[in-house]
Structure 1
Amino acid sequence: MSDAAIVWFRTDLRLHDNEALARAVDTHDEVLPVYCFDPREFDTTMFELRKTGPYRTRFLVESVRDLKRSFREHGGDLLVRRGLPEELLPGLANEYGAETVYYQTTPSTEERAVESAVIDGLDQRGVDHHRVWGKTLYHIDDLPVEIDRIDDTFTPWRKTVENEATVRETFEKPAPNDLAVTLFEGDSEPDPTAIPTPLESDDTERAPDDRAVLDFEGGETAGLQRLDEYVWEGDHLREYKATRNGLLGPDYSSKFSPWLALGCLSPRRVHETVERYEHERVANESTYWLVFELLWRDYMTFQFEKHGAAFFTPTGIRGVEKNWRRDETAFERWAAGETGIPFVDANMRELNRTGYMSNRGRQNVASFLADVLELDWRLGAAYFESRLVDYDVCSNWGNWAYQAGVGNDSRDGYFHVLGQGKRYDSDAEYIRRWLPALGGLPADACHEPWQLSDGQQEMYGVELGEEYPEPMVDVEAVYERLAK
């Protein structure tokens, strides 16, 4: 065995099923785990929106803190620094005498650019580097066809993978005595939660909203607990497919996505849990459907590996030309949940106040922005990037491109937000929760308050344009035009 190695943690903030960590521990006498808060991740997007908003920042900080605590419980530590990885990692390798840096790759343009810069810095110092693939359920090397030949339509790809590939076994969590590390004097803090904040002025302490569907706590510990609670304690997996389009409550869907996004939870660990559940309790369409959703996540990741930066262009991977509008006022009303269309506004306000929105909500607000308002879909994707606690670059941008008609399996149609609201929130309970100004209205009026006469508005105590905005567009007329 050789002496020392660095494990650079990125979106793999866990000890379980972590190939980079396992390889380093198996090969080296001493391992130094490192996490870098890259200031560029807290800068702005191409649309001058903050890349990482408060809820995602808080979840990230909690996840790093939890990982540091786990290392300490195992007799080691996680070195946390704020700065550019391409500057920090080569310097740390030199200071600690590390001969190799292990890390998990991320298939997106900015993240790959950082990887390249880190590799250049390591090469200049003669430090080796070892890249692993660990984000997806199926390993990239096990796909039936090469990345540049995978189908751009999901269903054929899914069937091929299910028939011709297998999921690898998870990596064991290293034993406690394998994670001991010697830090320089002053590197180790007595408080295991003490880590640098991502920004000089940090706003991660956002008061929780008691209307949130779940208190998303970052970290591997919370992720594994959520997996256990949802599958075993609550026994919700058996009904997942029937309930996954819900809008209220913690258990209508698994809500594993925030922990998957930061790698606090391994998709292979989820898969193993589903298989054990199917063996010990029940195997049905719902248990399959959770794995199906992991496959969709895989697919978007592999599509980014194939198409790269094309996903960030207005025309997407299909080169579809559309006349996207730029209207700052319209975008701001959409973002603030002030469109005057209650189902859209309720979802946007939930996002703004909790960092989360249901999948059904995401589809509808995306369709409203792209199909009804005809705004540049990338504005919506960038806004989600800032706000979502479960932001994943591939899933977010891939699904927005899909909805805008420029991505994979792209829709030729649209989501009719009025019909969708009435179908999935028929009693308007969700709308009333997030739009209290409409709380006194009957269900039908909650969905279309502009239909109320002046007398009815007075009777119910809501005046459009005052307590709740007038609709910014004649949405019914838009849908009549789109249906032609």
Structure 2
Amino acid sequence: MTTVVWFKRDLRTRDHAPLVAAASTGEPVIPLYVIEDDYWQLPDTSGRQWAFIRDSLDDLDRQLRNAGSQLLVVRGSVIDALKQLRTHHGINRIFCHQETGGQWTYERDRAVIGWCSENQVEFREWNQFGVVRRLSDRDVWDRAWTELMRQPVLEAPAAIPKSDTLQAFPTGDTVQDFTVPDECPDRQIGGSARGDKLLASFLDRRCVGYQYNISSPNTAVRACSRLSPHIAYGTVSLREIYQQAKATGNHRNTLPRKKKSLTSFRSRLHWHCHFIQKLEDEPELELRAMHREMEALKAGPNDTERLQRWQEGQTGWPLVDASMRALSHSGWINFRMRAMLMAIASYQLWLHWRDPALHLARLFTDFEPGIHYSQTQMQSGLTGINALRIYNPVLQSQKLDPDGEFIRRWIPELAGLPSEMIHTPWLMTPTQKERYGGNTYISPVCDHEQAARVARKAVGDFRKQQVSQEETWRVLNRHGSRKGPRQARPKLKGNRDDTADQLSLFD
């Protein structure tokens, strides 16, 4: 019998249950990755994501060759690839990890399962991380997540039986010949080796002060683990990251400040799976609001000019524009800036959530559908169970980039402005502009304070008039965070506190 190990978002050999199970049979194994052209035509995929995957495939092939195997990369549909493998190599089993992706990958997986059933090919899946398929009760999720994270990390197979009928194939050519246009000059490099180095440097020294330094775009570049794309594409397993972070934090020689930082970091790993579970439980979240009644909050097409200015980093609010430009350039920005970008689009610019969400998805090298669609909706006030967070772009700028260091780096039009003027360049007098520059920077798209007041009132009025307590409770019952037995229905309200930042992306 020959087993295909189908790699999707799990591009590693260590802590890879399907690969370990296949290798343990002692029978031939074909490690397979399929480049699916249709997937790369989706509105939330991009070249920077493929480039990270391409790096990771090269590294995965290296790992497999160390175990006497190699990665087969083919281009086309998965079912066509499986048909050819069945015809020429007599495959009998397909082992893989579960994937919680968008509607396209969901339908793809269903088609593969159907083909396996029709052709008497065994199909078996394992959990990739702490997301529970067909979860019957959200109350038991936390326990299931903890149990999975405590299971031993699986060593990479020392030897992987190779199919004698599988001739040498130009995997490198297949990978390198496929391109997706995208300019991202400072994107992160993929592969398990890179992920391992990042984890080691984070646990060794970069994690100290993590919980304090991840909000500012100036300090977050180093303070954040920067493991998010490696987790998204599985070059390092979440369980291994969690266990190494816990072991380091619990070591008797670890200083209290470092222990506290790693405790905060581990909580982000928990939230990572908490948000993906939402999409697993309700796949429609990719396309409509979590709180179904909130989808009707905004009607009609988006304002094209406002959307374009936001996308290009030309809103006229320095921290917002600097964040968008930095993200476009590198494929990464820290969570607080991600939340601000989405909130500004939703409230001050009053854009329907879907277009901004797709644009950000394309820019994120670490795009993770379950986290992304849940988070973009939460930052847009569409969950019905989270406090509203309407960001003030000036106050955020003064708080997180007080000296304008980040702004000057990404908005050269403002490089000559003194710190006290850089957050509100539209308030400068003609004389000040003549002296310091800033004449070429665009004026704000609107009065952000007035726009925020209008948005807050519109959302509040809609909730009072159009939102039912039944639908709100449905969302809380299905997606709310909790430990242990469900408690009495909480009082639901919206305010301007920091709740949203506690329910954040892993970054």
For the superposition of Structure 1 and Structure 2, which TM-score range results when normalised by the shorter chain?
A: 0.7 to 0.9
Give 1:436-447 correspondences, 5 Å limit: 436-447=412-423
Q: CA deviation at 1:295?
A: 0.9
Across the two proteins, how many residue pairs are aligned to each other?
Answer: 449
Give 1:228-267 correspondences, 5 Å limit: 228-232=200-204, 235-248=205-218, 250-267=221-238
Q: CA deviation at 1:317?
A: 3.8
Q: CA deviation at 1:203?
A: 3.5
Q: Which amino acid aligns with 1:299?
A: H
Q: Residue 296 of structure 1: SS of its match in structure 2?
A: helix
Give 1:357-376 correspondences, 5 Å limit: 357-376=333-352
Q: Does 1:123 align with 2:114?
A: no
Q: Does 1:112 align with 2:112?
A: no
CA–CA separation in structure 2 for the residues paired with 1:117 and 1:362: 35
Give the counterpart of 2:195 among 223, 228, 237.
Answer: 223
Q: Which amino acid aligns with 2:191?
A: G
TM-score (norm 2): 0.83
Return closer, same or farther for 1:342/1:179 CA change in 2, 3 Å cut-off.
Answer: farther
Give 1:204-215 correspondences, 5 Å limit: 206=183, 208-209=185-186
1:33 equivalent in structure 2: 31
Give 1:267-286 correspondences, 5 Å limit: 267-280=238-251, 281-282=254-255, 284-286=259-261
CA deviation string 1:242-267 (max 9, x = no partner): 21113135412111101000011111
Q: Which amino acid aligns with 1:302?
A: Q
Identity %: 23
1:287 equivalent in structure 2: 262
Q: Residue 55 of structure 2: SS of its match in structure 1?
A: helix
2:8 equivalent in structure 1: 10
Q: CA deviation at 1:292?
A: 0.7
Q: Does 1:196 align with 2:189?
A: no
CA deviation string 1:215-259 (max 9, x = no partner): 611011111111012112xx1223211211131354121111010
Return closer, same or farther for 1:162/1:80 CA change in 2, 3 Å cut-off.
Answer: closer
Return closer, same or farther for 1:317/1:68 CA change in 2, 3 Å cut-off.
Answer: farther
2:472 equivalent in structure 1: none
Q: Which amino acid aligns with 2:174?
A: I
Give 1:305-324 correspondences, 5 Å limit: 305-313=280-288, 315-320=289-294, 321-324=296-299
2:306 equivalent in structure 1: 330
Q: Residue 351 of structure 2: SS of its match in structure 1?
A: coil
Contact 1:93 1:127 (8 Å CA) reproduced? no
1:68 equivalent in structure 2: 61
Q: CA deviation at 1:413?
A: 3.5
Q: Residue 38 of structure 2: SS of its match in structure 1?
A: helix
CA–CA separation in structure 1 for the residues paired with 2:430 and 2:74: 60
Give the counterpart of 2:277 among 299, 302, 314.
Answer: 302
Give the counterpart of 1:470 among 443, 448, 457.
Answer: 443
Return closer, same or farther for 1:9/1:323 CA change in 2, 3 Å cut-off.
Answer: same
Gaps of 5+ in 1: 46-50, 152-156, 210-214
CA deviation string 1:50-104 (max 9, x = no partner): x322221211111111111211222210000111112212331332112100011
Q: CA deviation at 1:341?
A: 0.9
Which is further off, 388-397 or 113-122? 113-122
Q: CA deviation at 1:148?
A: 4.0
Q: Which amino acid aligns with 2:212?
A: A
CA–CA separation in structure 1 for the residues paired with 2:19 and 2:416: 55
Q: CA deviation at 1:125?
A: 2.1
Contact 1:100 1:127 (8 Å CA) reproduced? yes
CA–CA separation in structure 2 for the residues paired with 1:483 and 1:102: 49
CA RMSD of aligned residues (A): 2.3
Q: CA deviation at 1:365?
A: 0.6
Contact 1:139 1:167 (8 Å CA) reproduced? no
